[in-house]
Amino acid sequence: MSVRLTGNFTRLQSSYVTRLFPYQFSRFGFQIARQSTVSNPQPQNDKPIAENELGTFLAETIKAKGPLSLAVFMRQCLTNPHGGYYINKDPFGMGGDFVTSPEISQMFGELVGIWHLAQWMQQHRQPCRLVELGPGRGTLMSDVLRSSKPFRPFANAIKEIYMVEASPTLRGMQHKKLCGSTPLEQVSDKSLWKSVTNYGIPIYWTEDIRGIPNDGLSNFITAHEFFDALPILQFEKVLDDPGASSMLVKDRQSSWREMVVDYMVPDVKSQESQIILPNTTVIKSTEKSSTADAKPVFQLVTSKIASAAARIIPKSHPRYESLPPGSKFEVCPEAWDITEKLTSYIVPNEINPKRGGAMLFVDYGPADTIPINTLRGIKDHKFVNPFENPGECDLSTDVDFQALKIAATRHHGDHVAVYGPAEQGDWLHTMGIGARATVLAQGQHTPEGKKRVEDAYNRLTEKSGGAMGRLYKVMGIVPKSQPIPVGFGGDI
Ligand SMILES: C[S@@+](CC[C@H](N)C(=O)[O-])C[C@H]1O[C@@H](n2cnc3c(N)ncnc32)[C@H](O)[C@@H]1O
């Protein structure tokens, strides 16, 4: 990568608009999002220089090739090997940028483990593999394994574990937590690493789900806050004939355009007139600026031309195609692809006609509507402008649970059933978090210890306002032959 780093931007970007999303409370902070409807003007500086190396690289790429797809921009910001957010740091905990449910309390991972145990018991009790997508610090898998240990037949049936993790730093942390001093060895295939857990179970790390064998083992798969970290595409339905503004909207032709990331001097006037949306809090810039002294910034613009993605994706399902002109929506094709592929891992196959398994997805997003304009940057427990300082903040979007359901059933609808999404608070209660919290609290010998358990219980299950118990949702996917799973209306 050829990069230069010789200058700084003003912080114009972060001063246009603050949007308050209810999801803020789960990661403590506020969100700044920004849009522009300016169509693809070129960067005005000859030599783009952004605030950091990755930003400069992206600015130079845009200058050479034109605006980037939002998914490409996000992918670079999140997992570019030379500065992507997840690559070199531990973003979790109070010293990091956000806190997740498994980090709040061991109860979360334990109940995820019990859910998989219940699915395994209801099926053919086959030898199986545990899989986790985006395992963070490895805390959830550690709690799953500990809670499974007393159930010997299940613990003995776990033949191996696969962790899908893009970050070498987090792979290292997960390995340390789960395997202690047992070395991590690269398998001949360079993108596979192997070790053995403290419980003696072989464990592998892969960067991609294609590294997981689709063989005769049943697969019990967990994705907690994984899909929200995958790159998305955004589309807008625009009116084709801007000159015909006197015509009624219903009489005008419209087509879909992709929202792309450009690097350009912001058009302050047009942005301020465009950003006022329902339920939006607008904070006007305190920095006086004019186009003459403003510097270029990364921003989302509507592509002038209909890209291949814009011609195909909105037509891929009536829920997008039927939206009226002026609508925007987000999609995460990578999440569809992963869900569809992994669904084939939990159904019988030629190698093992009794193969089964289950998938549990926990994330935030609407239960039954399409996410619109939900991209947010997260840093130091606050929402920040997702286009500022590429690679230095987490990027996250709402998960479209209905799209995951469509992906799971598109080719495997005869073989799997999808349950939920249920609200996290309800799911945890039906999984028995109340009883588990009581036992844990009884084991504490100090009032502070008891209060810690109580606080964690409240935080995970509370459903008022923007609390986690309502915002986070749980979706379960199991073979169609199975009864309704516990947590979604069924019994253990
Ligand atoms: C928001 S964190 C959630 C971590 C953990 N599940 C938890 O809840 O504490 C997202 C996780 O997904 C990983 N990740 C992000 N993008 C990925 C990708 N494209 N492929 C594999 N892992 C990815 C990150 O490194 C991180 O471990």
Q: Is residue 296 a part of any domain in this protein?
A: yes
For residue 113, is it within any domain? yes
Nearest CA to ligand 1 atom 4: 136
| Ligand 1 centre distance from Cα of residue 40 (Å) | 32
Summarised one tens digit per residue, pLDDT across range 107-132 is: 999 999 999 999 999 998 999 999 99
Other C-beta atoms closer than 10 Å to the C-beta of 312 total 11
Single residue among 277, 305, 330 that ends a domain in this structure: 330
| pLDDT number for residue 476 | 98
**Residue 80 token pair:** 């570019």
Q: What is the pLDDT of residue 394?
A: 93
- Domain finish residue from 275, 303, 330: 330
Q: Tell whether 326 and 345 lie within a shared domain.
A: no
Nearest protein Cα to ligand 1, atom 17: 166
DSSP states of 312-336 as a string?
A: HGGGGSHHHHTPPTT-EEEE-HHHH
Tell me what pLDDT residue 330 has: 96
What beta strand segments (E) does 136-188 contain? 158-164, 185-186
Which residues surround ligand 1 with Cβ inside 6 Å? 78-79, 86, 100, 102-103, 134-136, 140, 164-167, 170, 224-226, 229-230
| Residue ID of nearest Cα to ligand 1 atom 20 | 166
Whole-Å CA distances, 64 to 76, 203, 432, 487: 17, 43, 56, 51
CA 131 – ligand 1 centroid, Å: 13
Ligand 1 pocket test: pick from 76, 107, 167 the residue with the most ligand atoms within 8 Å of its Cβ: 167
Domain-located, residue 30: no
225 Cα: distance to centroid of ligand 1 (angstroms): 7
Phi, psi (rounded to 5 degrees) for 423: -70, 140
Q: How is residue 395 written in tokens?
A: 């990027």
- Which residues on adjacent β-strands are paired with residue 328? 236
Per-residue CA distances from 282 to 26, 171, 278, 319 (Å): 22, 40, 11, 30
Amino acid making up residue 361: F
Provide the pLDDT for residue 98: 85
| Same-domain check for residues 183 and 204 | yes
Q: Tell me, what's the pLDDT at 51?
A: 75
- Give the span between the Cα atoms of 460 and 440, in whole angstroms: 15
Give CA–CA dist 162/224, Å, rounded: 15
| Together in a domain, 307 and 406 | no
Domain count, the chain: 2
Q: Which of ligand 1's atoms lies nearest the C-alpha of 92?
A: 9
Q: Compute the distance from residue 229 Cα to the ligand 1 centre, in Å.
A: 7
Residues 196 and 124 in one domain: yes
Rounded to an integer, what distance in angstroms lies between the CA atom of residue 269 and that of residue 267? 6
Predicted pLDDT of residue 242: 62
What CATH code is carried by the domain that includes residue 144? 3.40.50.150
What spacing in Å lies between the alpha carbon of 331 and ligand 1's midpoint? 18
Which of 273, 303, 330 terminates a domain? The answer is 330
- Centroid of ligand 1 to alpha carbon of 133 (angstroms): 7
In the reported structure, the alpha carbon of residue 139 is separated from the centroid of ligand 1 by a whole-number distance in angstroms of 12
What is the chain's mean pLDDT, rounded?
A: 84
Residue 373 dihedral angles phi and psi, to the nearest 5°: 55, 55
> In this structure, is residue 169 part of a structural domain?
yes
Give pLDDT < 50 ranges for the chain.
1-45, 269-289
Residue 152 lies in a domain: yes
Residues 137 and 208 in one domain: yes
Q: 322 and 186 in one domain?
A: no
Residue 484 lies in a domain: no
State the distance from the centre of ligand 1 to the C-alpha of 344, rounded, in angstroms. Answer: 22
Amino acid 487: pLDDT: 96
Best substitution site from 23, 74, 75, 86 to test ligand 1's pocket, by max atoms within 8 Å of Cβ? 86
139-148 and 106-122 are packed helices; what angle lies between their axes, rounded to 10 degrees?
Answer: 50
CB atoms within 10 A of CB 239: 15
| Same domain? 136 vs 62 | no
The range of the structural domain enclosing residue 145 comes to 101-230+333-365+400-423+466-479
Amino acid at 351: I
| SS3 state at 362 | strand
| pLDDT of the residue at 293 | 64
Same domain, 315 and 414: no
Q: Is residue 141 part of a domain?
A: yes
Q: Within this chain, do residues 204 and 119 fall inside the same structural domain, yes or no? A: yes
In a domain? residue 416: yes
Taking a C-beta distance cutoff of 8 angstroms, is the pair 260, 272 a contact? no
pLDDT at 248: 59
- Closest ligand 1 atom, CA of 231? 19
Rounding to the nearest 10 degrees, give the CA dihedral for residues 425, 427, 433, 434: 60
Count CA atoms closer than 13 A to 155's CA, side-chain side: 14
Indicate whether 134 and 275 sit together in one domain.
no
Which of 76, 98, 100, 165, when mutated, tests ligand 1's pocket best, judged by the most ligand atoms within 8 Å of its CB? 165
Indicate if 358 and 304 belong to the same structural domain: no
Same-domain pairing of 158 and 300: no
456 and 434 Cβ atoms separated by less than 8 Å: no
